[in-house]
Amino acid sequence: MLRDLFSIRGLGGTVAFNVAMAGLGLVSGVVLARTLGPGGRGDLVAAIQWAGITLALSAMGLGFAIAHRAGVAPARKGKQWWFSLVVTTAWGGLVLLGTSAVLPGFVHASAAPALNVTLWVVPFGLALGFQAYLLLGSGRVLAHNGVRLVASLAYALVIATIAFLRVRSVSAFAAVFVASQMLGAAAGFALLARSLDAARMRDRSRAREFVEFGIKSQVASIAGYAALRLDQLLLSVFASSADLGLYVIAVSSASVVGPLFSASTRPGGARAAAESTTMGDPCR
């Protein structure tokens, strides 16, 4: 049991993937700081963080619900995938339209164009997150980590490439952020399309069951996101873009170890979901 837990498909693999993603994030941050300068870096951070909190709120904890139900009722994974695609398309599109009309007014004018771009991450980020959680709940921890790494690796590589080409547009780097999430979502779709029965996708999912379970975890999710990012959100409103950029540059190195502390929750969550298949659903 311990050998499986610490293998590439368990905690050991998750730690390795998280270290890789943290390293990619650190390198991307350095490249962006040197390319955009404090002001441009601050505008990009503001755009990404406001899009990020929008994504976290719109997810409604459904990722945890999908992972849990995939472990409890593995025969219904096709229905859960269908449900995630419907939410991604319908709900994600509505959130995108609503927030695009409101949120740019909360940031500095220089950051508003980039925010209009990063808000497109909502439907694609939902698709990436829901499909990654479905893989996790199915016990496919390696695939779950791989999908996440695809997005991080694509972001870092394209950031480095366009920086080398001397691109200085904040909106261009914002578009790279959205595109990386699209690529991660496509990778998740490809993995699930190969393993799930497409005929099951047409079945109706018990949407109310997913939402009720998801809401239970939403408060903790938002609290965790706020603990990590609330400072940057507030600075994006009350401080100048240059000050926010300098702040992010200063704290980025200190926060690089953060993903290591959450590594155990992913394989542990997958195992707990699998155990509840035989013990009954404790959250019902």
Closest CA to 74 of 147, 140, 119: 140
Find all residues with CB under 8 Å of 75, minimum gap 6, and list them.
none
Alpha carbon distance 77, 198 (integer Å): 11
> Whats the size of the chain, residue-wise?
284
Q: What is the dihedral of CA 160, 130, 212, 207, to 10 degrees?
A: 140
As a whole number of angstroms, the distance between CA 92 and CA 127 comes to 9
Mean pLDDT of 224-251: 84
What values do phi and psi take at 204, rounded to 5? -80, 140
pLDDT (mean) for 251-266: 58
Q: How far apart are CA 76 and CA 237, in angstroms?
A: 44
- pLDDT number for residue 180: 96
Please state the φ and ψ torsions of residue 64, each to the nearest 5 degrees: -65, -40
Average pLDDT over residues 120-144: 89
What's the CA angle centered on 178, arms 168 and 17, to 5 degrees? Answer: 105
Given a cut of 70, whether residue 43 has pLDDT beyond it is yes
More confident residue, 224 or 96: 96
Largest CA distance in the chain: 57
pLDDT value at position 283?
46
CB burial of 77-86 (b: ≥16 within 10 Å; e: otherwise) equals bbbbbbbbbe
User: Are 145 and 266 in contact, with CB atoms under 8 Å apart?
Assistant: yes
- Quickly state the pLDDT bin for 174 (edges 50, 70, 90): very high
pLDDT band at 167 (very low <50, low <70, confident <90, very high): very high
Angstrom distances, CA of residue 98 to CA of 57, 101, 130: 13, 6, 21
DSSP secondary structure code for residue 205 in this structure: P
Reference 184, options 152, 213, 210; nearest CA is 152
Query: What is the distance, to the nearest Å, from the Cα of residue 223 to the centroid of all Cα atoms in its chain?
Result: 16
